[in-house]
Structure formats: structure tokens, C-alpha cells
Amino acid sequence: MSPREKHVVWAWIILPLALVGGVAAADPNLGSLTLEEAQLGYKSLFNGKDLRDWDGDPAVWSVQRGVILGSSDGRPLRENSFLVSRRKYGDFELRFEVKLRNGNSGLQFRSERFGDWGVRGYQVDFATGKGWGNLHGEGLPGGLILDGWQDKAEFAVRSEWNRISLRCEGNRIRVWVNGVVVNDVLDPGATLGVLALQLHRGEAMQVEFRNIRILEIPRD
């Protein structure tokens, strides 16, 4: 076999292996779906490069190192600032990862946008201390809807990246933190609205999000 023929044979062997390796080693920051998620119909809401599916104040929201970064360092906020989805969602399952350096953040859902980057409605809370996993009514009269911390989230929260799942079907809302169910509630509130990531007013803080994907659930 000539050197050229050997080169061709090795190319046919190495190329498939490289492709398989590329899939297996896909950067999780890029919002890549697992094979199972792709088959189920999940869609990525963050491509790891830009914020095309979102709208927020560019002074505090950006993409850094393949993650969504919210930071008020050097720019203290008088009001909460949100990175808002360009679409509204009703029934769905949302999966993402979040890392909180300090302060208070959250994920709004089925919420109403107002002003430039203001949002009110349901929120899954992430906060230093006992805020993780709470179901909160941002800008709503009732405030805290259900505490997800006691005997639940307190054992599940990690210091680095945390996996959050949120499933909304009709009036039923369920929240998981690192695989632990921390909230399962029926609440007769809004059933459609935007998603939004929160950067809280007050002390300088930082939060990161990655791997955001959603499965929309058809309604009967």
C-alpha cells in the first residue's frame, strides 16, 4: 500500500472518531442539547455567543466566556434589572444552570414586562442564604408564594453551578434544584408570559446563567 493510500485509510478511520468525540465533548456553555432532549423537542434559548433571544440593559448584561453574565459591579442599581425573553411562554419545562457569586437573583416566568427592563410576576428565587428555590411573586401583592428552602433546597444547593428545572402545566408549578423537588404547588395566577433573568438592586452582585433550554408543552 502506497503512503497516499495509507493516508486515505487513516483519514476514514479518524474522521468518524473525531466527529463522535466532538459530540461527546461539546462545551456545555454553548447550550447544546443532550440527544434525549433533542429527541423530545427541547430548544436552546442561549447559543453561548450572543443574546439574540433576550433583551436587557447592555451595561449590566453580557456574554462572557460562553455564559450569560449579569453584574452590577461599579454600577449599583436602584431598581431590579431584568434580561427578558423576546417570546412569551405558557406550559413548558425549562432547564438551566446558574451560579450566584453573591446577592439576589432569580428566574421570572409567566411574567409581565413593563418600562424598559422591568418585570412582574412569578419568580424562582436564587439568593444568598435561604432564598434558593423559593416561589416568589415579583412585584405582586403577596410576595413569597411558597418557601422551597426548609428541608429541601438547603441540602441541594452548591457553591458553584446549580441545575434548575421548572415545569409549568396549567396551574401546577414544580421546581427542582439539582434534582431535588423543592416546590410543587397549584396557584391560580398567570398562565402565559415572558421569561426573565434578574439582577437585584442594592449591593454590587454577580450571577451567571448557561445551558438554557426549553420544551414547550401543548395545551389541550
Q: Tell me if 100 sits within 8 A of 107, measured CB to CB.
A: no
Q: Which residue has the higher pLDDT, 171 or 155?
A: 171
Comparing CA positions, the residue from 82, 81, 85 lying closest to residue 44 is 85
Mean pLDDT of the chain: 86
- Banded model confidence at residue 155, pLDDT cuts 50, 70, 90: confident
Task: Encode pLDDT of 86-116 as tens digits.
Answer: 999 999 999 999 999 999 999 999 999 999 9
- Banded model confidence at residue 145, pLDDT cuts 50, 70, 90: confident
Q: What's the pTM? A: 0.84
Cell numbers standing for residue 63: 456574554
Q: Does 10 have pLDDT greater than 60? A: no
Q: Does 15 have pLDDT greater than 50? A: no
Instruction: Write out the CATH class of domain 28-216.
Output: mainly beta
Q: Which residue has the higher pLDDT, 39 or 15?
A: 39
